[in-house]
Amino acid sequence: GLLRYGIPDFKMEKSHIDRRVEQMKAEGVVFRTGVVVGAAKDTLGKGSKVTNLAKETVTPEQLQGEFDAVLLTGGAEQSRDLPAPGRDLDGIHFAMEFLPQQNRVNAGDKVKGQLRADGKHVIVIGGGDTGSDCVGTSNRHGAASVTQFELMPMPPEAENKPLVWPYWPYKLRTSSSHEEGCEREFAISTKEFIGEKGKVTGLKTAQVEFKDGKFVEVPGTEKIHKADLVLLAMGFVSPVSPVLEAFGIEKDARGNAKATVDFNGGYATNVPKVFAAGDMRRGQSLVVWAIREGRQAARAVDEFLMGFSDLPR
């Protein structure tokens, strides 16, 4: 789902997904799309994208009765919000409201009232991959300007290898979207969304620095930035689907499915026959982690069903 609708086509062509899906179908995998698991469609909220797209509803009892094991890998889709004054103004959207619409259009679907950046001054709040995808998509729409905000200070252009190895190197990362055109602001915090007649027209910001374990505002650095479209790309905090509640899955402190990762009953939840892996278990992460956990969870399920497994760890 995220590969197809969350990552722009200019970053990953969907032919790669199509090829792998066809391979998996040939191997015997049955794909059922447009299915809501765990809740009636009318309980998901007015305007819910799930409500609009779902074709059928399946209960946990049905799945547990029909299958010998269930593996939950629904992802961590709850976007991190920015509850600053003026948040309810029109023109402020989560990145995952913006990006999937363009992917659907690229695929030939009709999207009524598509969110577009044509001729607009766009501000993207969040300096990660999702923010970069918003930058590239906005540029392709023909935005008047694109500015990306990052709360953290600007990293060095080259990492201190002896200091960070073997961990993820801390250095400035410039994507192809940035190179296409984007102003980047670091160590900046949004204090307020400003608007007229119910629509966002700008942001009030201040520079910040990290002191005593928290970010504090630098006096005298307040500034107003013009904005017609604001995209919130600050990461994801937990699964949004009601599937965990419907199955009765115990959650960890961050709201993710609680499941062990050891090789003795690995990836099993508190509910018999039900396993969890990927972002739904570990929280927001990378595709490579999803692949790793998928393979390990497959082995755990195989061991559960067969008593042993020849699958690699």
Domain 81-234 in the same topology as domain 32-77+237-306? yes
Confidence of residue 51 (pLDDT cuts 50, 70, 90): very low
pLDDT, tens digit (0-9, with 9 covering 90-100), for 228-241 = 999 999 988 888 77
Question: How confident is the model over 109-116, as a mean pLDDT?
Answer: 94
- Does pLDDT of 263 surpass 70? no
Residue type at 107 in one-letter notation: A
- Does pLDDT of 39 surpass 80? no
Confidence of residue 47 (pLDDT cuts 50, 70, 90): very low
pLDDT of the residue at 50: 47
pLDDT, tens digit (0-9, with 9 covering 90-100), for 72-84 = 998 888 899 999 9
Q: Dig out the tokens for 228 from the structure.
A: 């017609």
- Does pLDDT of 53 surpass 90? no
The CATH label, of 3.60.10.10, 3.50.50.60, 2.40.50.100, 3.40.50.2300, for the domain at 32-77+237-306 is 3.50.50.60
- Does pLDDT of 88 surpass 90? yes
- For the chain, the first-to-last Cα distance in angstroms comes to 25
- Does pLDDT of 42 surpass 70? no
Closest among 36, 104, 100, 94 to 237, alpha carbons compared: 94
Q: Dig out the tokens for 303 from the structure.
A: 């061991």
Tell me the CA distances in angstroms from 175 to 127, 128, 131, 300, one per residue in order.
Answer: 11, 10, 10, 37
> Partners of 195 in the beta sheet?
200
Q: Where are the domains of the chain?
A: 32-77+237-306, 81-234
Question: How confident is the model over 140-144, as a mean pLDDT?
Answer: 96
- Does pLDDT of 148 surpass 60? yes
Question: How confident is the model over 202-211, as a mean pLDDT?
Answer: 94
Fold of 81-234: FAD/NAD(P)-binding domain (3.50.50)
DSSP-derived secondary structure letter, 160:
-
Q: 70 near 63, Cβ under 8 Å?
A: yes
Confidence of residue 209 (pLDDT cuts 50, 70, 90): very high
Beta strands in 151-276 (DSSP E): 183-186, 188-196, 199-211, 214-217, 223-226, 229-232, 236-238, 274-276
Q: 73 near 52, Cβ under 8 Å?
A: no
Please report which residue ranges of 153-264 form alpha helices under DSSP H: 161-164, 176-180, 243-247
- Does pLDDT of 168 surpass 90? no
Residue type at 177 in one-letter notation: S
pLDDT of the residue at 33: 87
pLDDT of the residue at 45: 40
Q: Map residue 276 onto helix, strand or coil.
A: strand
Q: Map residue 211 onto helix, strand or coil.
A: strand
Closest among 137, 154, 149 to 193, alpha carbons compared: 149
HSE-CB for 294 with a 13 A CA cutoff: 10
- Does pLDDT of 48 surpass 50? no
DSSP-derived secondary structure letter, 168:
P
Question: How confident is the model over 8-12, as a mean pLDDT?
Answer: 93
Beta strands in the chain (DSSP E): 35-37, 56-58, 70-72, 78-79, 92-94, 121-125, 145-150, 183-186, 188-196, 199-211, 214-217, 223-226, 229-232, 236-238, 274-276
Question: How confident is the model over 7-22, as a mean pLDDT?
Answer: 93
**What's the chain's average pLDDT?**
89
Least confident of 115-129, 249-263, 266-280: 249-263
